Amino acid sequence: MSHDPHCLFCKIVAGQIPSRKVYEDEHILAFHDIHPWAPVHILLIPKLHLSSLAEATEAHAEVLGRMTVLAPKLMRELGVTNGFRTVINTGADGGQEVYHLHMHVMGGPRPWAKG
Ligand code: AMP
Ligand code: ZN
């Protein structure tokens, strides 16, 4: 499924739910997390619906690679200069709450609210 009408992040991609966008291209969207754990906390998502990393296949390798390479660039642009954390929560025991794959990227001076 490329778009799930019930999926929160698909609705953000479609502009049906607002987000504070950081970056967008044909395949990837990045926006600020609504409940940040850190001074800078963004989410990178593929625009196509992919429920979790557990469902990823070879077909997703390129977009996942691009998201990973984009993370440090966006952190630099957001003024993060002293390191950052990347997290992909996967499945129930992984603490995943939104079932559209997303990479958390968190940075900024500590202490952080969480993490
Ligand atoms: P996870 O537990 O990895 O599935 O994380 C889901 C993340 O999505 C949480 O950090 C939430 O704060 C974030 N989130 C939920 N709804 C929104 C929204 N409408 N806009 C931005 N971030 C959101
Ligand atoms: Zn989705």
* pTM (global) more than 0.75: yes
Mutation probe of ligand 1 site: the residue of 20, 29, 34 with most atoms within 8 A of C-beta? 34
Q: What is the pLDDT along the chain (115 residues), one digit of tens a residue?
A: 789 999 999 999 999 999 999 999 999 999 999 999 999 999 999 999 999 999 999 999 999 999 999 999 999 999 999 999 999 999 999 999 999 999 999 999 999 999 8
The finding on whether 34 has its CB within 6 A of some atom of ligand 1 is yes
Q: How far is CA 58 from the centre of its chain?
A: 19
Token pair belonging to 40: 């800078």
Domain layout of the chain by residue ranges: 8-107
| Closest ligand relative to 11 C-alpha | 2
CATH class of 8-107: alpha beta
